[in-house]
A and B are shown apart, each in its own frame.
Chain A
Amino acid sequence: MPKLRKCSIVGNGQPRESSFLVHSYTAMGPQISLGSTPKVRREQNDRERNWPKFAGTALNPCRLKQMMMGDTVKAIHALLFVTGIYGLTFLITLFVVAVILLIRWASSGHPRTTPLSKERYAERKEVTA
C-alpha cells in the first residue's frame, strides 16, 4: 500500500481532500491520481476505466503518468540490478575462459612436475623421435 501524504493548503485552514494522493483501484490495478478536484479526479478515473484493455496498460495515458512517476524509479533500480548481473556474467565468463586455458595447458605436455612424470615424458619424446 503506497504511503498517503497529507499536504495542508493554507486558505480556510482546513486540509483539502484534493491535497492527498488518492488511490483508486480500477480493473487495471491500483492507479494513483495526484491532487486535483474531485470532479477532475472522477473524470480521470472514468477515462482509466474506459480505456480499451487490449491497447495495453502502458498505452493508457494515466498508466503512462504512473509509469513516469513510479515505474521510472523502479526501472532505474532494475538497471542497477542488471548492471550487477552483467558484471557477474563477465566474471563467470572469464572464469570459463580460465578453465579452458587450464585444460589446454594441462593437455599440452607442460605440467611435468614429479621426477616420474618427467622421466615418462622424456621416454615418450624419445620414442616419438
Chain B
Amino acid sequence: MIDLIAHIFEGVSTFGQMDAHTVMIRLALIAAGFLLVYLSGKNILDPMVLMPMGLAMILVNGATLTIEGKLANLFLDPMLSKPEEVVNSMQILFLQPIYNLMFSNGLIACLVFMGIGVITPLDYLIARPLTSMLIAAGAELGSILTFPLAVAFGFSYKEAASIAIVGGADGPMVLFTSLELAKHLFVPISVVAYVYLSVTYAIYPYMIKLLVPKPLQGIKMDLHSIPKVSSRQKLTFAVLAAAVLSVLFPAASPLFASFFIGVMVKEANLPRYRKFLDENVLTGSSFFLGFVLGALLSFYVVTDPRIVLIMILGMIALVLSGVGGIVAGLIAYKLSGGKINPLIGIAGVSCVPSTAKVAQKCAFAVNKQAIILPFAMGPNVAGVITTAIISGIYVALLR
C-alpha cells in the first residue's frame, strides 16, 4: 500500500531517496521560491523577472521524479552536452529547446539588450558626454575591485571576471560574460545578479543618505541647460559607436550590436520595429529569462559549495559600484562649481532606468523642485556602454 502511494505521489517519495543534506537544499530552494514570489508580488523585488523565477524554483524542486533510476524533472537538464542527448531531451523536457537555443549561446542576453536599447534615451549622454562617461567609469569600481577579491578567495581569473561584472549591475552583461567565461557558474552568478539588482535599489538610498550631505541631495539642475540633440546625431552615434566598439572588441560584438540596433530602431523612427522590440522581444525574453533561470535552480544543479562566496562577492561588487558612482558624482559637483547634483553619480550604476529613478526619488525627497531624472539618464546610459567595454575586455583577454 505504502509502495503504491509512493509510486502515485512520486514527488513526495523522492524525498526519501535523498540524503539529509540534499533534502535540506531542496526544501530551502522551494522556500526561496515562495519568498521570491511573495516579495515580487509586493513589488519589493522586480516582478517582471523574479516572479516567474520564484514559481519555477518551487515547481522544479517540487516536481522531482525518477527517470531511468535517476532523480530528474521534466523541465530541463542543463548538464547535457552530447548532441544526441540534447536532441533526445528536447522531445521530453519542455524548456530544453529554449535553454539550448537561447541560453547556451547567450541569445537571451542579446534579446534583452535589444529591448533595453529601444527604451534608452541618449539625449543627455550626447549633450554632456564627458560628465556622463566619467561618472559611469567611476561607477565601475565594483566590476574592477571585486576581481582581485574573488581571486583572493580562490576563484580562477575567468570565474572572478564573471563574478566581478555583477558590479556593472547589468543583467544581460552578467549573463553574457558568465556564459563566455564560466559556464559552470552561470546559474548561481546570474541568479545572484538578478536578485541583487532588485535588492540593491533598496540599499542605494541608504548609501546616498550616508555618503552625500543632505543640502547637496536637493540641488536643482537647470533643465534648459541641456542643449537640444537631434535624432540624426543620436542615430549617427549609435552606428559609429557600434562599429568602433565591435572592431575593438569582436568578442563582445553581439552585445554591442544588440544594444545599438535597439537605439537605432528608436532614433530612426521605425514604429513597427520599435513596438516589436519593446513589447514583444523585451517582454517575452524577460519572462523566459526569469522562468528558465528559476528552472535551472534545481537542487542537483546548485551543488557548488562556493555559492555563498559568490553571493557575498556579488553584494560587495554592487556596493563598491554604488560608492564609486557617488564619489564620481561628488567630484562632478565640485568641478561644476555646484551646478551638478551629486546624486546623478548613483545612476552611473547602469541598470536602465532603475538607478536613475533612485537618484530622482532621493532628490525629490529633499527638494520637491529638484528634477534630475533627465540628467541622471546620461550616466545611466553611459554605464551600459562602460560595462559593455569592461565585459568586452574581460572576455577578449580571458576567453
Partner of A92, one of B130, B248, B308: B248
- Distance in angstroms between the alpha carbons of A58 and B306 in the assembled complex: 8
Is the Cβ of B133 less than 8 Å from the Cβ of A97?
yes
Q: Does A129 contact B (CB under 8 A)?
A: no
The interface size bin for chain B is 35 or more
Report 21 cross-chain contacts, Cβ distance below 8 Å, ordered by A residue: A54-B21, A56-B305, A56-B306, A71-B153, A74-B151, A75-B152, A78-B148, A82-B145, A85-B390, A85-B393, A85-B394, A85-B397, A89-B386, A92-B245, A94-B133, A96-B133, A96-B241, A100-B126, A100-B129, A103-B240, A107-B236
Q: Does A79 contact B (CB under 8 A)?
A: yes
Q: Does A53 contact B (CB under 8 A)?
A: yes
- Distance in angstroms between the alpha carbons of A58 and B149 in the assembled complex: 12
Q: Does B389 contact A (CB under 8 A)?
A: yes
- B394, closest chain A residue (CB): A85
9-residue interface stretch from B46-54, B134-142, B172-180, B208-216: B134-142
Contact string, B218-253, partner A, CB cutoff 8 A, digits 1/0?
Answer: 000000000000101100110011001100100000
State the B residues within 8 Å of A (CB).
21, 125-126, 129-130, 133-134, 136-137, 140, 144-145, 147-149, 151-154, 157, 160, 164, 230, 232-233, 236-237, 240-241, 244-245, 248, 305-306, 308-309, 385-386, 389-390, 393-394, 397
- Distance in angstroms between the alpha carbons of A1 and B147 in the assembled complex: 24
Cβ of B241: which chain A residues have Cβ within 8 Å of it? 96, 99
Given contacts A78-B151, A81-B157, A93-B134, 16 further A-B contacts (CB under 8 A): A54-B21, A54-B308, A71-B152, A71-B154, A78-B147, A78-B152, A78-B157, A94-B133, A95-B244, A96-B385, A99-B244, A100-B129, A101-B129, A103-B237, A106-B236, A107-B232
> Which label, helix, strand, loop or mixed, suits the secondary structure of the B interface?
helix
Min Cβ gap A94→B in Å is: 8
| Leading 6 A-B pairs by shortest Cβ distance | A75-B152, A78-B151, A78-B148, A100-B129, A79-B148, A97-B129
* A76 touching B389 in the complex, CB below 8 Å, given contacts A58-B154, A99-B237: no
- A71, closest chain B residue (CB): B152
Partner of B152, one of A72, A81, A90, A92: A72
Q: Does A67 contact B (CB under 8 A)?
A: yes
Of residues A57, A96, A104, A107, which shows the largest number of chain B Cβ atoms within 10 Å of its Cβ?
A: A96
Is the Cβ of B306 less than 8 Å from the Cβ of A89?
no
Is the Cβ of B151 less than 8 Å from the Cβ of A71?
yes
Partner of A100, one of B125, B151, B309: B125
Of residues A63, A72, A82, A101, which shows the largest number of chain B Cβ atoms within 10 Å of its Cβ?
A: A82
- Distance in angstroms between the alpha carbons of A91 and B244 in the assembled complex: 14
Interface size on A, residues (CB 8 A): 37
Contact string, A41-68, partner B, CB cutoff 8 A, digits 1/0?
Answer: 0000000000001111110000100010
Partner of A67, one of B153, B233, B389, B397: B153
- Distance in angstroms between the alpha carbons of A89 and B391 in the assembled complex: 10
Min Cβ gap B40→A in Å is: 27
- Distance in angstroms between the alpha carbons of A97 and B393 in the assembled complex: 18
- A94, closest chain B residue (CB): B133
- Distance in angstroms between the alpha carbons of A83 and B390 in the assembled complex: 12
Is the Cβ of B133 less than 8 Å from the Cβ of A103?
no
Is the Cβ of B133 less than 8 Å from the Cβ of A89?
no
Q: Does A86 contact B (CB under 8 A)?
A: yes
Contact string, A23-56, partner B, CB cutoff 8 A, digits 1/0?
Answer: 0000000000000000000000000000001111
Min Cβ gap B235→A in Å is: 10
Min Cβ gap A66→B in Å is: 8
Min Cβ gap B391→A in Å is: 10
Cβ of A7: which chain B residues have Cβ within 8 Å of it? none
- Distance in angstroms between the alpha carbons of A96 and B240 in the assembled complex: 10
Is the Cβ of B390 less than 8 Å from the Cβ of A89?
yes
Q: Does A88 contact B (CB under 8 A)?
A: yes
Is the Cβ of A82 less than 8 Å from the Cβ of B154?
no
Cβ of A89: which chain B residues have Cβ within 8 Å of it? 137, 140, 386, 389-390, 393
- B24, closest chain A residue (CB): A54
Cβ of B129: which chain A residues have Cβ within 8 Å of it? 96-97, 100-101
- A72, closest chain B residue (CB): B152
Is the Cβ of B148 less than 8 Å from the Cβ of A76?
yes
Partner of A82, one of B147, B230, B236, B248: B147
Is the Cβ of A82 less than 8 Å from the Cβ of B153?
no
